[in-house]
Amino acid sequence: AEVLYKAMKGLGTDEDAILQLLTARSNAQRQEIKAAYKTLHGKDLVDNLMSELGGKFESLIATLMTPPIMYEVTCLRDAIKGAGTDEKVLVEILASRSPNEHNDDLEEDVTGDTGGHFKRMLVVLLQASRQQGIQEDLIQSDAQALFVAGEQKYGTDEGQFITILGNRSNAHLRRVFEEYRRLSGYEIEESIQRETSGTLQEVLLAVVKCARSVPGYFADSLYGAMKGAGTDDQTLIRIMVSRSEVDMLDIRAEFRKRFATSLHKMIQGDTSGDYRKALLLLCGVRLVDVCFRVCQLNKFNSSGVM
């Protein structure tokens, strides 16, 4: 809290001190720092940071300072409020995240702002009733049900796809996909692309991708956010922050495996300034080397000199 106060005190702002410190702390620790800052200085740390910073760097720091569940709920609410719905954000968060206690509060919003089979699938994901583990006795029947609901039927029984993909665990679904390929001769993705369309197809394919590999899903999303002209900074910030304490090393490995470059190199080429520095530190997963950090903080004397 003192390091951040001194970084913002007086004329000018020491952005480097801010980004170095905040990217090297877990979210839980950032909340403790925020509370300590309020106690020591009687001010809100986030308000002070926002008044000192700007642009994409400000957005990144604001995201780092938000508790994860609150941030995801905010993203979901922002995706469904106002004119139009940001289906991409809904799909990413609901297809990839574990359930949390806020889902019930969001169901009415999603129900009101989406429609058809897409809405049904989102509601299933929000209800978070996924079975745990692998149900050996259901693998063959699930694969058969998906085959009958799609490739073997004139038209498509979307309800079966929603029920099975929305309610089974990732480990179970991977076994179902193997059995489905043996039974039908197709990958499940091929059948979904033939049998469904639009936003329902997007969410079903996202669920399949996450069942196969959540880090792989996010590696693809990050690549999509940076490839070509321009950068989807909202997606870049959302994923880099939300996954930094979860599976960033796995995402980096998948990124390198799938694309002819590294995540670090792509961020370096697509961003600039303090925004880039902070993202690269998150990419390196600089989350608290406790002994080193405690040692650093203990070097501050009463005059604040390191």
What is the three-class DSSP state of 150?
coil
How many residues are recorded in the chain? 306
Residue 303 has a pLDDT of 44
Q: Taking a C-beta distance cutoff of 8 angstroms, is the pair 244, 286 a contact?
A: no
By C-alpha distance, which of 78, 43, 68, 57 is closest to 13? 57
Q: What's residue 129's pLDDT?
A: 78
| Inter-residue contact 33 to 45 (CB < 8 Å) | yes
Give pLDDT < 70 ranges for the chain.
82-83, 98-105, 109-112, 128, 285-306
The pair of three-digit structure tokens given for residue 231, joined into one six-digit string: 């950068």
Q: Which residue has the tokens 């059948």?
A: 191
Residue 137 confidence (pLDDT):
97
Distances (CA, A) of 250 to 17, 68, 103: 28, 19, 27
Tell me the domains of the chain and their CATH numbers. Answer: 1-53 (1.10.220.10), 214-292 (1.10.220.10)
- Both tokens of residue 16? 């480097």
pLDDT value at position 105?
64
Q: Which amino acid is at 17?
A: A
DSSP 43: S
At 285 the pLDDT is 56
Q: What's the confidence (pLDDT) of residue 111? A: 63
What pLDDT score was predicted for residue 274? Answer: 98
Task: Calculate the alpha carbon distances from 126 to 139, 201, 279 in Å.
Answer: 24, 18, 30
